[in-house]
């Protein structure tokens, strides 16, 4: 069979256009493809929701890849084992209720599980703004190519409608900060009404509070993962990731309850 560059081009453009159009109106839009975002995507898709993840980098996984200080291993507490078991991740007991995992395997299998469940994952796509409706409720996200953002070119973005948005952008909490910056008089549903900022590392407290902090902080917006701790002013945790997975699952549960009501 002769190889035709034109047919390759047609295949890529046609399939991309088809798949991206299917994401123009979805149930849940997730900004960020780190551990909490991919976990949320998995449980949302598994629960029957139409969900898409928008990751600005050309890879997913967030901070997992480098493990701790470029040692590609992570620590997970036993409370999160059920989630990682669903992904098929192999973990080795360490003692004291802790387990170690290969960071590359964790990312690969979590991503495979999410896509296998039906989630769409778009890399190289930034969420640069949000869509709002009556009473400033979120009704979707505004996306653009990350390459456009980095180049500084003025290129108008596109809108994606969604019933719920999950901010899983990590330490920066980009979506929450956009809300605070762009909606006059905005007061987030936390103690300060603003993005409080994360505290220094305290793994025990950070792991506990990250799940508690996973909540709807503005109508239509849920924070998950480190974005939740940044918004609520809780400590960072370092290379222990159990709370990230549990936060993603909780974000999915909250979203499913909202879109089902």
Looking at residue 252, its pLDDT comes to: 98
Q: What is the pTM of this model?
A: 0.96
Do the domain assignments include residue 158? Answer: yes
**Which of 199, 178, 198 minimizes the C-alpha distance to 188?**
178
Do the domain assignments include residue 89? Answer: no
Looking at residue 239, its pLDDT comes to: 94
239 Cβ contact list (under 8 Å, min separation 6): 67, 68, 69, 73, 74, 75
Do the domain assignments include residue 130? Answer: yes
Looking at residue 261, its pLDDT comes to: 55
With beta carbons less than 8 A apart as the criterion, state whether 220 and 132 touch. no
Identify the CATH number of the domain in which residue 180 sits. Answer: 3.50.50.60
Expressed as residue numbers, the domain containing 223 is 25-64+104-260
3-class DSSP assignment, residue 70: coil
The pairing of beta strand 98-102 with beta strand 120-123: unpaired
In the chain (261 residues long), the average pLDDT of successive 10-residue segments reads 88 96 97 98 98 97 93 96 97 96 97 98 98 95 97 96 98 97 92 94 96 97 98 96 97 96 55
**How would you label 67-102 residue by residue, b for 16+ Cβ within 10 Å and e otherwise?**
beeeebebbbbeebbebbebbebebeeeeeeebebb
Q: How many domains does the chain have?
A: 1
Do the domain assignments include residue 96? Answer: no
Do the domain assignments include residue 17? Answer: no
3-class DSSP assignment, residue 78: helix
Separation CA 222–CA 51 (nearest Å): 14
Separation CA 29–CA 10 (nearest Å): 28
98 Cβ contact list (under 8 Å, min separation 6): 75, 76, 77, 78, 240
Looking at residue 2, its pLDDT comes to: 76
**What are residue 228's phi and psi, to 5 degrees?**
-65, -45
The CA-atom distances, in angstroms, between 18 and each of 10, 139, 145, 171, 205 are 12, 22, 18, 33, 45
The CA-atom distances, in angstroms, between 261 and each of 24, 113, 188, 256 are 22, 26, 22, 9
**Which of 144, 166, 175 minimizes the C-alpha distance to 52?**
166
Do the domain assignments include residue 48? Answer: yes
């Amino acid at each position: 069979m002769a190889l035709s560059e034109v047919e390759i081009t047609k295949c890529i453009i046609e399939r991309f256009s088809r798949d991206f159009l299917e994401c123009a109106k979805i149930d849940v839009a997730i900004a960020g493809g780190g551990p909490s975002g991919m976990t949320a995507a998995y449980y949302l898709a598994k629960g029957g929701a139409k969900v898409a993840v928008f990751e600005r980098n050309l890879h997913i996984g967030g901070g997992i890849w480098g493990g701790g200080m470029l040692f590609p291993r992570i620590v997970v507490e036993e409370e999160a084992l059920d989630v990682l078991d669903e992904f098929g991740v192999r973990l080795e007991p360490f003692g004291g209720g802790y387990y170690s995992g290969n960071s590359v395997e964790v990312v690969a299998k979590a991503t495979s599980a999410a896509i296998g469940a039906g989630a769409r994952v778009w890399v190289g796509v930034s969420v640069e703004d949000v869509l709002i409706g009556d009473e400033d409720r979120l009704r979707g996200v505004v996306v653009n190519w990350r390459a456009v953002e980095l180049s500084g070119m003025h290129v108008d973005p596109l809108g994606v409608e969604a019933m719920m948005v999950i901010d899983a952008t990590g330490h920066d909490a980009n979506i929450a900060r956009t809300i605070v910056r762009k909606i006059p008089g905005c007061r987030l549903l936390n103690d300060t009404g603003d993005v409080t900022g994360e505290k220094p590392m305290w793994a025990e407290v950070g792991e506990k509070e990250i799940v508690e902090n996973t909540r709807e902080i503005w109508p239509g917006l849920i924070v998950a993962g480190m974005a939740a701790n940044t918004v609520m002013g809780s400590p960072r945790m370092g290379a222990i990731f159990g709370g990230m997975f549990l936060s993603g699952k909780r974000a999915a549960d909250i979203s499913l309850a909202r879109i089902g009501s």
